[in-house]
Structure 1
Amino acid sequence: MTSLTIRRPDDWHLHLRDGDMLRGVLPETARDFARAIIMPNLVPPVVTAKDAAAYRDRIMAALPKGSDFQPLMTLYLTETTDPADVAAAYADGLINAVKLYPAGATTNSASGVKDITAVMPVLEKMAQIGLPMCVHGEVTDADVDIFDREAVFIDTKLNPLRQRLPELRIVMEHVTTKDGIDYITAADQNLAGTITTHHLIINRNHLLVGGIKPHYYCLPVAKREEHRLALRKAATSGDSRFFLGTDSAPHTDPNKLCDCGCAGVFSATNTMACLAHVFEQDGALENLESFASLNGPAYYGLPVNDATLTLTKHDTAVNFPAKIETGEGPVTLFDPGFALFWSTS
């Protein structure tokens, strides 16, 4: 196959940052994607409807001329979040989800949730009105190994919450383990998972063997090969509970290449080319549209995009930029470690 046309894809987990960084990276997503769930972990975070409206306006102002990209806004869940504010924002069509960060789990998550019982009134209201909760599924306990944090979160946090509030619609974001895949697959309702581009391609050896590769460092961190293979199997299967969330997360090179480098992989520019490679390699190109364009809208209760995207395979490798220049500084693009032969139009 040398050409594949699919419904225009959406990104169900995206970091755009703000200011000069927002203006620098937004065109990379808007080129291929129609919509994206926008992460609220700014400094300060997007915690109220007023915050979300202002951030949406800044995104719209930064769009390239003629772009019809639509940001899907979220609120950052804190222990002081007002259930009435959340419900009003959802009723007004301002937000499409609320994001739960365990405090300290990832970039700009210090304002996150320490005690889930403190946010139960918000979660109960969300369950009542059908508003999805996106969750960064890791515990932050110092005595839990970083490679086990997702599995422990499922056992100690997520499963008890779902038993207590089965009506709550949950998206387990950036699943990185077979444990997460198996848990979602076993669920009969109200649970789905996003999978990133880079977690389909790299395992922890890519990060650590032969020297530390800072541009492969992300949270959740890449895991063993058995987990990567489980992610690949789920993503390419066509199972409607799994869909694309790139977790594309830009940091400038100086902030990645320092004594305490930031976690995040920037993949917006070449995600669709990487996915075409992965799905073709696994003999599942016919399921790429489901993963990238159909399953996410179905879970979020949104229409599928009318527009299409065409992927074309070339005889010679396609050149992608090594870095994206932004007003805040250079951002290195995810390197899959192999040549890419697909482009989009």
Structure 2
Amino acid sequence: MTQTLTLTRPDDWHLHLRDGAMLQAVLPETARDFGRAIIMPNLVPPVVTGDQAAAYRERILAALPEDMSFEPLMTLYLTEDTDPEDVAAAYASGLIKAVKLYPAGATTNSASGVTDFDKVRAVLEKMAEIGLPLCTHGEVTDHDIDIFDREAVFIDRVLDPIRCATPDLRVVMEHITTSNAADYVRSQDKNLGATITTHHLIINRNHILVGGIKPHYYCLPVAKREEHRLALRSAATSGDVRFFLGTDSAPHIDPAKESGCGCAGCFTATNTMPLLAHVFEEEGKLENLEKFASQNGPSFYRLPENPETITLVKSEAAAKFPKKIHSDDGPVTVFDPGFDIYWAVAN
């Protein structure tokens, strides 16, 4: 017996496409299901100016297969040298939809991020003035802070002071991983949203470490205790307009993951929508999947919902997903939830 679920075509509000051969390989995996995505700017070198964002957008569109439709929503990488007027001009032109804050050293290719937040005050004030959202990688990088506490400390030391100093700034807490973050979002009355990844709804830190290290479950922010995973599930499936999908799908070739100093990131673009259907069904909240994946994100970014739809089909036989995506740089392992999934996106 089959079951179908038709949704407004979803968007991904946090996506890594990389560049070059990797871009060519992974872009179709997102464009197959998603209408738009917020594109992360942490290339090497990072995308810090409007001209660089325009050039990157052209490379993305050039890599898009002719039979697919997809809109990349560009962002700028915030540095201590970012020019407020360049940011404002890029936003006014329609080129960018957000600016990304990486605390220096927090994750992949974040060395150019912010250390002294006073040096970006003028940019944040300009963004508040024009209504441009700030996307935050919400972790501190102080060596005395335990890696599992970085998000909670970021809220207290960085995010809340920024929001108090610039209350009109619209902020997205990206890839939240703790009950602390979910509770903070709920405690605020305006200008704050949060993305939640697919993999943080499925794995906790035991999945990474128990029975041997699982490099393809290693991500940043790192997965936390089970109580936090359950809090994320509650937030994502609640229908609350402040929570929406940002996969943080982050491709790395297998040798870079399976090494003595493995890269952080889970590649979920290929099977996110079936995985989410499974999660929302387990929680008894399938009726809220469309809000999380297709409606709440456009609402926060003040964009229209996609006019198209997709249909998910649940069958008695387990769905088959590719184990790897092949690029000219090397293979990329697709996120494996560790259990059978019976949902698939209809062709």
The corresponding residue for 2:115 is: 114
Structure 1 residues 290-329: aligned runs within 5 Å: 290-329=291-330
Structure 1 residues 168-317: aligned runs within 5 Å: 168-317=169-318
Deviations 1:104-129 (CA, angstroms, capped at 9, x unpaired): 00000000000111001000000000
The corresponding residue for 1:162 is: 163
1:66 deviates by 2.2
The corresponding residue for 2:335 is: 334
Secondary structure, counterpart of 2:193 in structure 1: strand
Inter-partner Cα distance in structure 2 for 1:160 and 1:73: 27
Question: Structure 1: which amino acid aligns with 2:335?
Answer: F
TM-score (ref. length: structure 2): 0.99
Figure out how many residues of one structure are paired with residues of the other and give that number: 345
Question: Structure 2: which amino acid aligns with 1:222?
Answer: A
The corresponding residue for 1:73 is: 74
Q: Which moved more, 1:58-67 or 1:239-248?
A: 58-67
Secondary structure, counterpart of 1:295 in structure 2: helix
The corresponding residue for 2:31 is: 30
Inter-partner Cα distance in structure 2 for 1:285 and 1:302: 24
Question: Structure 2: which amino acid aligns with 1:101?
Answer: Y
1:231 deviates by 0.1
| Unmatched runs of 5 consecutive residues or more in structure 1 | none
Question: Structure 1: which amino acid aligns with 2:60?
Answer: I
The corresponding residue for 1:61 is: 62
Question: Structure 2: which amino acid aligns with 1:313?
Answer: K
The corresponding residue for 2:5 is: 4
What percentage of aligned pairs have identical amino acids? 72
User: Which aligned runs of 4 or more in structure 1 are off by greater than 3 angstroms?
Assistant: none
Inter-partner Cα distance in structure 1 for 2:17 and 2:206: 28
Secondary structure, counterpart of 1:163 in structure 2: helix
Please report the RMSD computed on the Cα atoms of aligned residues, expressed in angstroms.
0.6
Question: Structure 2: which amino acid aligns with 1:39?
Answer: M
Secondary structure, counterpart of 1:247 in structure 2: coil
Inter-partner Cα distance in structure 1 for 2:77 and 2:162: 18
Deviations 1:152-174 (CA, angstroms, capped at 9, x unpaired): 00011101111111100000000
Question: Structure 2: which amino acid aligns with 1:299?
Answer: F
Secondary structure, counterpart of 1:312 in structure 2: strand
Inter-partner Cα distance in structure 2 for 1:161 and 1:219: 22
Inter-partner Cα distance in structure 1 for 2:246 and 2:7: 17
The corresponding residue for 1:46 is: 47
Inter-partner Cα distance in structure 1 for 2:10 and 2:72: 13
Inter-partner Cα distance in structure 1 for 2:37 and 2:132: 16
The corresponding residue for 1:146 is: 147
Secondary structure, counterpart of 2:340 in structure 1: coil
Inter-partner Cα distance in structure 1 for 2:175 and 2:243: 10
Inter-partner Cα distance in structure 1 for 2:171 and 2:319: 37
